[in-house]
Structure 1
Amino acid sequence: MTDSAFLNDPYPFYSSWRAAGPLHWNEDFCGGAWLLTDYADVAGILRDPRCSVRRAGGWVNSSGPGAKSDLREFKRIFSRSLLFVDAPQHTRLRQVMNAGFKPQAMLALAPTIEAIVDDLLDSIIERAARGQAEFDFTDEFARPLPALVIAGMLGVNPADRAQFIAWSDDIAAFIGAPTPAMDIALRAQASAVAMSIYFRDLLPERRQRPGQDLVSQLLAAEATGGIITTKELLAQCCTLLFAGHETTRNLLGNGMLALLQHPHQWQRLIEAPALLPQALKELLRFDSPVQYTGRRLKADVELHGQVMKKGDLVIPLIGAANRDPAKFDAPDILDVNRNQGAHLSFGFGPHVCIGAALTYLEAEIAFRSVMRRLPQLALAGTAHVWGRNAAYRSLETLPLRFAAAHAIAGVPAHAALDA
C-alpha cells in the first residue's frame, strides 16, 4: 500500500482483494492486521462495541526501537484526542464538541465561508486577467479554504495557516503510514507538540476574554466539568485543527479532479446545480478523502468463519467499501445522479465524523461558486500528482486552466448559492 501504483489508483487493488475474499491478514500494518473490503463488514466493524479506537499507544510504539520513550509526548497527546478514546470518555467529549457543529452554528458560518471562497476565486481570476489562466487548484484553493475556515472557528490567526497545514501534514503522514518509520513519527510528535503549545499560549487570553470560537467553548466546558483537564482540552484543540481541514481539502481536490475527468458530469452539474448536495455524496463515495481507519479488538470476533483474536488490529478499508458492487451498482462509474445508499467516507457508528456537516457546507459553497464563476474550467494536461499517503487520499498538485474571457469576476458567493 505504499508503492506508486497503489497510491495513484488503489481501486483496482481493492477489487482484486475483494475477489480473493472479504477478509485478509496483512503484515504491513504495525506487525499485522485484518483488512476488510466489503461494505457490510466495514460498516459492521465501525459500529461494533467490541472494537476500540484506543490504538494510539501500540501504533506509536510500532515506529521502532526507542519509540516507547522517545515518543512519549506524542502518545500523551494522541491518547486524549476524541479520535482515540472510547465511551464513556468519548461520549462526554463528543457532547462538548458537538455544540460547535450544530445546524445553527453552520448556518451562521456560511457567510464567512462565502467570503473566503470569493477572495480566493477573485485572486485566481485577477491573475487570469493578466494572462495567467492556469493555476494549481490544490495550492491556491483546496488547501487554503478549509485551513482559513477552521482557523476562524478556533479563533486563531488565519495568517498562521501555512504553519497549521505543515503541522497537520506531518501528523497525517504518520497516520497514513501502515507502519510509520521513526523519522516520520518524530516529525509528527514535534508538530503535535508545537500545535499544543500554540493553543496553550492562547488560553490565558481566552479565559479573560471568551468569545464564540471553539477554544472558548472548550474552556467553558472545562469550567463545568465537560472537559476534565487542560491537557485534555489542548488535545481536542489539536484534533479540531488537524481534522478540521484534512477531509475537506481532499474532497475539494479529489472531487474536482473526478468531475473534470468526467466532463459530462461537470456539465450536468453546471446545468442543474440543484444536484450538488447529492453529487457531493457521490464524490465522497467515488474517491474517499479517507481510505481506511483502524480498530483494536476488545474481544474475539468471528467473521466469515475466521476468528479474529482479542487485541488484533482491524483495518476497515473505507475506499474499498465505497466501491463494493454488492452495495452500489456499477461502483467504478461516477454518477452525480446516484441515489443509492450512504457512503462510509465519514465513518459510521459512534465515531462518525463530527465535522461532516462542516465539510458538506464548505464543499457546497465552494463547488457552487466555482461552477458559477469558472464554468469552462478544465484540466491543464495530465500533470496532477497524488500524495504519498495511503490513508488520506489527496492531490499534491492539480493544475487547471480556464478561459479568462468567460470567468466571472467579483460575484458575491451568495449570488452563486442562489443560482
Structure 2
Amino acid sequence: MRAYDVILKKRNGEKLSREEIKFMVEGFVRGEIPDYQMAAFLMAIFFRHLDEEETYYLTEVMMRSGEVLDLSEIPGKKVDKHSTGGVGDKTTLVVAPLVASCGVPIAKMSGRALGHTGGTIDKLESIPGFRTELSIDEFVENVKKYGIAIVGQTGNLVPADKKIYALRDATATVDELSLIASSIMSKKLAAGSDAFVLDVKFGTGAFIKDIEESRKLAGLMLEIAKRHGRKAAAVLSNMNQPLGRFIGNSLEVIEAIETLKGRGPEDLVELSITLGALMLELAGVSEFENGKKILKKKIETGEALEKFRVLIKAQGGDERVVDDPWKFLAVSKKIEEFKAERDGYVSFIDTEKVGTASMLLGAGRKKKEDRIDHSVGIVVEKKLGDFVEKGETIARLYVSEKSDLESAMKLLKEAYVVSDTPPEPFRVVEEVIK
C-alpha cells in the first residue's frame, strides 16, 4: 500500500477501507508518512469528506494509537461531558460536582484554552495549589474515594490526534465535520467512560457558526458512540452571546462557585441543569425532567458546592476559595470599562470577538506554548436584549501591564451592536438530542 494511492482515492471521492485509514494514521504517527502527504490527505478529506463508516474507522484507529483507559474498577456508570468550545463556558466546573453529588462517578479529562475559547484545566489551575496532573492510578483512586476527579489529558492518550490536529491547525483543515467528530470522540472513548453528553455549540462564539452544521456534527458523534456500544446524548447550545457574565480563568471559577451557591446567571444555570440531567439519565439515576429537579435541589441544599470543595481539596487546592473566591483567587485590581456610545438595545454580539478580546488581555493563548494570566478577563454587564444608555458600562475589563488593551477595546467595539429595537428573545438550549 502507498500513501499516494490512498490520497488519490480520497481526492477522487472514493470510499476508504479501514485498512487504508489505519495505514495513513499509523504511518504518520510512526514518521513513515511525511507531513506533506498527510497534509494532502487531510485536504482531500476536507473537500471530499468521510462518510459515517469512514469516520468510525478514523475514530477507532486514532483511539487505539495510545493508551485506552480502563475505568471498570470504579463502581457505577461513568458519564463524561464534552463541550465543543465556547466563550465563558465554565459548565464543567458546575456540572461535574453537581452530578457527582448525586452519586454518579465523574472521571473527567479536560483540555486547555486555545484561540478564543477557554479551557477547563486553565480555570482549575487558577485555584492555588490545584493539581491537574495526576498519575492514572491516582486519578482512578480519587474517583473511587471522592466520586470525582478532573485532570488534563495524559501524554499517551490518543497521540495520533495530537499530531494530526497540529497539522490540521497549520493547513486550514480544522473545521471539517468528520475530522472534528473523530478528534473529539477518539479522546472521549480512550478516556474510558461508559456514556457521554455532548454540548455542541453554534453561533458567533462557536467554532461552527451554523446550527444545521452543529446538528450534523452532533448526529455524527452520537453515531460513533453508538457504534462503539456507548450511550450518548447531545445538546445544541447557543453561543451568540457569552455564557454567563464572567470570561477569564479566576473570574469563571468565581462565577461557577456563585452558581453552585444558587446565585448563577440564568443561561449558565439552564445549560448546566440540562447537561447534568442528561448525565443522570444516561447513568440510570433518573429520567430527564425529574433529574432537573434533583439537581436544583442539590444546589439548594449546598451538596453540589460541598462536592466542589471535596474536588479542590483532593487535588491539592486551597478549599477556602469556595467560601471567599474574590479573596483567595488572583483577580487583577486594574479595571477598564467599555462603554456604550449611544442609547438603545444590545441587538447583536460577535461572541468570538469578545473571546478574542479576553485572550488579548492575557486570559487565553494564541499558540499552545503561550502562558496564561489567570487574573485577567472580562465581566459582561450587558447582554442581548438589554437596554443601555450612552456612557453606560457594557463590559469591565480586568487587565495587566502585559494586556493588549487597545486591541481588546477595538474588538469589543466591533463585537457589540446597539440599535433602536431589541432582538428576538435569546434561548441558550436550542435542542436536546437523545
TM-score for both structures, normalised by structure 1: 0.30
In terms of fraction of residues, the more strand-rich structure is: 2
TM-score for both structures, normalised by structure 2: 0.29
